Amino acid sequence: MASNAAESSSSKLEFDVNMTCNSCASKVQQSLETIGVKKFDIDVQNQSVVVDTDIPFAKVLGAIQATGMKAVLKGYGSPQGTSSKPSAVAEIFSTSGIMGVVRFSQISDRECVIDGTIDGLSDGVHTVEIHELGDLSNGCESTGDVYEPRTGVVGNSQKYGCLGEVEPDSTGRSVFRKTNELVKVSDIIGRSLLICSAKSPTASKGCDINSRLACGIIARASGISQNPKRICACDGVSIWDEANAPTK
């Protein structure tokens, strides 16, 4: 089931969905079309849904789950689906209740898609930053300065690791999707991602210690068709049971 060509800034999302019949597939198709998804492939036999879109992954996942079926995002990558383009993910957390997931996908040599959902934010603008160190031994304080691998960057030039601003809705959630022409996924794996209040960012170091609200390590993630497992080797739990588990 597919139509229309992908936009240059689109990403390919791969979901496992516990579909058992063609009626299930029709419900998924209708729900995806309702939120504006135009290109997708639904495979009932393999319980797979692959979507090509520029809509944030959380909204696509929510649309599939709205059918009453369990769904798990298992791959995120370039619209070409090539394994040569890396993907990464950061799980954000804090002691104050801020948590979320941000995904990075190198969709071309010049573009990286940054797609995230953050919960527990207070009112107002927040900034998203990549910091140079993947060291959470002292929480967000030990992540170093904002990441800037380029030399000769001075003044108020945009820093490589400054990914822009996000603002929550009335529930404290921010769902965002950005295209960045500076970030290369292969350069940021193992570093940290921070959510900061926008009170006191500086031109040279990004947000200061007192503005750092939540953080996580940027880790390599599965691209399209790179994660075939449905049973976790670590605990024997199926993806459908894991989907019902409380968020850690």
What integer pLDDT is reported at residue 158 of this predicted model?
A: 76
Residues 6+ apart with CB under 8 A from 193: 90, 92, 102, 128, 129, 130, 131, 215, 216, 217, 218
> Residue 61: which H helix or E strand, with range?
helix 57-65
Architecture (CATH level 2) of domain 11-77: 2-Layer Sandwich (3.30)
Identify residue 165 by its one-letter amino acid code: E
What integer pLDDT is reported at residue 151 of this predicted model?
A: 80
Domains 11-77 and 87-221 agree in fold: no
Match domain 87-221 to its CATH number in 3.30.460.10, 2.60.40.200, 2.40.30.110, 2.40.10.170. 2.60.40.200
Question: Rounded mean pLDDT of 217-236?
Answer: 64
140, 193 Cβ separation under 8 angstroms: no
Q: How far apart are CA 28 and CA 211, in angstroms?
A: 41
Condensed to tens digits (0 to 9), the pLDDT of residues 1-37 reads 433 333 448 889 999 999 999 999 999 999 999 999 9
Res 243 pLDDT > 70? no
Least confident of 183-187, 214-218, 222-226: 222-226
How far is Cα of residue 24 from the mean position of the Cα atoms in its chain? 26
Question: Rounded mean pLDDT of 101-130?
Answer: 93
Condensed to tens digits (0 to 9), the pLDDT of residues 126-149 reads 999 999 999 999 999 999 999 999
Give the pTM: 0.79
Question: Rounded mean pLDDT of 213-239?
Answer: 66
What integer pLDDT is reported at residue 78 of this predicted model?
A: 80
Q: Tell me how crowded residue 46 is: count the other CB atoms within 10 A of its CB.
A: 11
Question: Rounded mean pLDDT of 233-241?
Answer: 44
Length of the chain equals: 248
Condensed to tens digits (0 to 9), the pLDDT of residues 41-55 reads 999 999 999 999 999
Condensed to tens digits (0 to 9), the pLDDT of residues 170-190 reads 999 999 999 999 999 999 999
What integer pLDDT is reported at residue 7 of this predicted model?
A: 41
Domain layout of the chain by residue ranges = 11-77, 87-221
In this predicted model, which residue has the larger pLDDT, 141 or 79? Answer: 141
